[in-house]
Structures are given as structure tokens and as C-alpha cells.
């Protein structure tokens, strides 16, 4: 019965979604559910996502997709899989599943974190998610002392801190989180992001590597020179690690106007990239700016819902 519904969706996508491309966006694939990261795919969810797209859609690499968009030769129900930031679990958990289902993928790396630092949002989740603590000193960001009880209140508080810090200049953002750790005498969580060697291993296993700036700043908060530096630096570091050209880019946070501007798009072109992905929801076709490709957040927890939303997005745009 369910198989029939999936085949019907496949047929609708084939007929009404011609020459359209879905690009899925993931960050982590967690070995087990993490209550502080409820929206991240777990290994079991990611496995059925990949099983579904390999059975009912046509997973292709972003490079093939670009060629398909240019020549109007995209296969039916074309889909690309992408990951942002550069988590170790992209290599240890996701890659074996990608390999098993023969699904190509691109991983966009923010290069500063390959030295062992964690990203600011993870540092907040790790601090506030520490169940040994019920009270936090958040005077440094004007929130005073805050008590938490369950995971819901820990998550609410984390999101509140993220909202207060995300759009700070990235250097000040790091300083602010450093201060919160110091004020709470907290230990850093072990590294979550890939080392240079792990990035190279992932590439050697056939995963495309793209750039995602060096420090993961909100590019709109930087002047043109700083943006250029952040974008070019991540490209050149990755090219040294991989010993080959890096031509794909993802904007941190990824929303036009909020997170990057048309000036940023020009800088990305000048740096020698061939395409770039945003986090704007939707699908791409031959009329889409390849420097602002749209993506799709795969957060559904049921296969039929996931498939329906994929095809609905493909057909409606
Ligand atoms: Zn990112």
C-alpha cells in the first residue's frame, strides 16, 4: 500500500517536476537522538532518507546537477545531498550510508574549526545541555542568573542565547561564548568538527568538498574586504588539504539580506567558485542563479510525509 503511494509520488515528480532539482541540506547525522539537537537527523532517520531517495528519486552529484541545469538534461526526480559545516559524523556515520545507497554528496566546510574548536551554536548547546548544572550565570549577555529544569527549558534558553549572539561580529561572538564558559567554570566539549586528515579521507571516499568560509561569520555583518578574506581563505585552505580545486560554496546561515547580500554573491564569483547554495527553501531550474541555489530541509519524521513534501516542493515551484 505504502509502496504504491511512493510510486505514485515518483510518477507525479517525473511528469510535473521536469528539469527541476531538489537539494537536501543536512548538518549532522547523529549516532543517537540528542535532546539538545532534536532537529538533526539520526543514523536511522538518515538511513531511510537515503533508502527512499535511492529507490524513488535520482540522486546525483552537485557537479552533475550543474551540468544538467545548463543543458536541460537533469534526470527525473533529480536530488542532491549536501551537508554544512564539517562535522566528524559526516565521515563516520553518514558516509558509510551514502556509500551503501550509492548517493553522491557535497560537504561544505568552515575551515577554522578543523583545528579542534567547536562552533558557537554547539558550544551553547553543550554548555546549557550539561545536566550536571541547573543554574547558569548569563550576566555577560544581560540575562542574569537563569535556572533550567528539563530539556525543553534548556533548549529555549539555548535558542535565546543564540538569538543574542548569532549576529555579533564572529570574533566578538567567540569572546562572548568564552566569557560564558569562564563565568560558569565550564569545560569545553571534545571536538565535533573534522580534522584536515578527516576532510581529506572524506574526499578520497568520493564526497565532494565545498567551502563555507573560514570562521562561519554572518557575512552580511562584515565589510567587503573581510568577506573576501573569509571566503577566499576557506577555499585556499581546502585546496591545500585536498590538492585540487574547490569550486562550490555555501553561505553561512544562508538567507539573502539577513545573512549575505548581492555584494557577497559577487565576491563568491570573483573568488573563482562555480556555484553556491543558500538556505532559501525551494527547488532550482534553468532560470535559477547558480550562485544562489535553493535547498530543502528534510525534517520530516515519516517516509511518506518526507516524500510528499519533496515532490510537492518539486511540483509547486
Ligand atoms: Zn553553516
Residue 291 CA to ligand 1 center (angstroms) comes to 16
Residue 72 CA to ligand 1 center (angstroms) comes to 30
Residue 3 CA to ligand 1 center (angstroms) comes to 35
Read off the pLDDT of residues 23-78 as tens digits, 9 standing for 90 and up: 999 999 999 999 999 999 999 999 999 999 999 999 999 999 999 999 999 999 99
Residue 197 CA to ligand 1 center (angstroms) comes to 20
Residues 106 and 124 in one domain: no
Residues 111 and 133 in one domain: no
Structural domain includes residue 253 = yes
β 145-147/135-137 pair status: antiparallel
Over range 193-217, report the average pLDDT: 98
Which of the four pLDDT bands, split at 50, 70 and 90, describes residue 12?
A: confident
Residues 84 and 108 in one domain: yes
Which of the four pLDDT bands, split at 50, 70 and 90, describes residue 18?
A: confident
Residue 15 CA to ligand 1 center (angstroms) comes to 34
Residue 253 CA to ligand 1 center (angstroms) comes to 6
pLDDT of 317 over the 80 cut: no
Residue 86 CA to ligand 1 center (angstroms) comes to 8
Count of domains observed in the chain? 2
Read off the pLDDT of residues 87-135 as tens digits, 9 standing for 90 and up: 999 999 999 999 999 999 999 999 999 999 999 999 999 999 999 999 9
Residues 274 and 302 in one domain: yes
Residue 216 CA to ligand 1 center (angstroms) comes to 6
Residues 215 and 140 in one domain: no
Structural domain includes residue 131 = yes
Read off the pLDDT of residues 145-168 as tens digits, 9 standing for 90 and up: 999 999 999 999 999 999 999 999
Residue 252 CA to ligand 1 center (angstroms) comes to 4
Structural domain includes residue 188 = no
CATH label of the domain that carries residue 96 = 3.20.20.370
Give the domain range for residue 144: 120-183
Structural domain includes residue 125 = yes
Residue 217 CA to ligand 1 center (angstroms) comes to 9
Query: What are φ and ψ of residue 288, in 5° steps?
Result: -75, 140
Residue 212 CA to ligand 1 center (angstroms) comes to 7
Residue 294 CA to ligand 1 center (angstroms) comes to 15
Structural domain includes residue 24 = yes
Domain ends where: 157, 183, 209?
A: 183
Residues 75 and 200 in one domain: yes
The pLDDT, as a whole number, for residue 252 is 97
Residue 71 CA to ligand 1 center (angstroms) comes to 30
Distances (CA, A) of 177 to 121, 174, 182, 220, 312: 9, 5, 9, 21, 40
The pLDDT, as a whole number, for residue 1 is 62
Percent of the chain whose predicted confidence (pLDDT) is above 90: 86
Residues 176 and 203 in one domain: no
Residue 5 CA to ligand 1 center (angstroms) comes to 34
Residue 215 CA to ligand 1 center (angstroms) comes to 10
The pLDDT, as a whole number, for residue 49 is 96
Domain ends where: 163, 183, 203?
A: 183
Residue 20 CA to ligand 1 center (angstroms) comes to 25
Residue 84 CA to ligand 1 center (angstroms) comes to 5
pTM: 0.96
Residues 101 and 42 in one domain: yes
Domain ends where: 183, 215, 237?
A: 183
Amino acid at each position: 500500500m505504502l509502496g504504491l503511494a511512493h510510486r505514485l509520488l515518483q510518477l507525479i515528480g517525473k511528469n510535473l517536476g521536469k528539469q527541476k532539482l531538489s537539494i537536501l541540506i543536512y548538518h549532522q547525522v547523529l549516532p543517537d537522538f540528542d535532546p539538545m539537537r532534536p532537529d538533526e537527523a539520526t543514523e536511522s532517520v538518515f538511513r531511510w532518507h537515503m533508502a527512499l531517495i535511492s529507490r524513488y528519486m535520482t540522486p546525483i552529484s552537485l557537479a552533475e546537477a550543474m551540468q544538467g541545469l545548463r543543458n536541460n538534461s537533469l534526470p527525473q526526480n533529480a536530488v542532491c545531498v549536501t551537508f554544512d559545516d564539517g562535522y566528524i559524523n559526516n565521515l563516520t556515520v553518514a558516509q558509510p550510508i551514502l556509500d551503501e545507497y550509492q548517493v553522491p554528496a557535497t560537504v561544505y566546510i568552515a575551515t577554522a574549526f578543523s583545528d579542534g574548536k567547536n562552533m558557537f551554536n554547539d558550544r551553547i548547546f553543550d554548555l546549557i545541555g550539561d545536566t550536571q548544572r541547573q543554574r547558569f550565570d548569563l550576566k555577560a549577555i544581560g540575562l542574569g542568573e537563569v535556572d533550567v529544569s528539563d530539556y525543553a527549558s534548556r533548549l529555549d534558553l539555548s535558542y535565546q542565547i543564540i538569538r543574542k549572539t548569532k549576529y555579533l561580529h564572529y570574533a566578538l561572538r567567540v569572546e562572548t561564548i568564552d566569557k560564558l564558559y569562564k563565568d560558569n567554570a565550564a569545560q569545553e566539549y571534545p571536538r565535533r568538527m573534522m580534522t584536515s586528515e578527516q576532510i581529506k579521507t572524506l574526499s578520497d571516499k568520493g564526497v565532494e568538498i565545498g567551502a563555507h568560509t573560514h570562521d562561519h561569520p554572518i557575512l552580511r555583518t562584515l565589510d567587503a574586504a573581510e568577506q573576501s578574506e573569509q571566503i577566499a581563505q576557506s577555499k585556499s585552505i581546502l585546496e591545500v588539504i585536498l590538492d585540487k580545486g574547490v569550486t562550490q560554496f555555501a553561505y553561512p546561515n544562508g538567507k539573502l539580506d539577513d545573512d549575505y547580500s548581492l555584494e557577497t554573491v559577487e565576491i563568491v564569483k570573483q573568488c573563482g567558485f562555480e556555484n553556491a547554495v543558500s538556505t532559501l527553501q525551494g527547488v532550482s531550474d534553468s532560470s535559477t542563479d547558480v550562485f544562489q541555489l535553493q535547498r530543502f530541509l528534510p525534517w520530516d519524521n515519516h517516509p511518506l510525509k518526507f516524500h510528499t513534501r519533496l515532490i510537492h516542493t518539486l511540483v509547486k515551484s
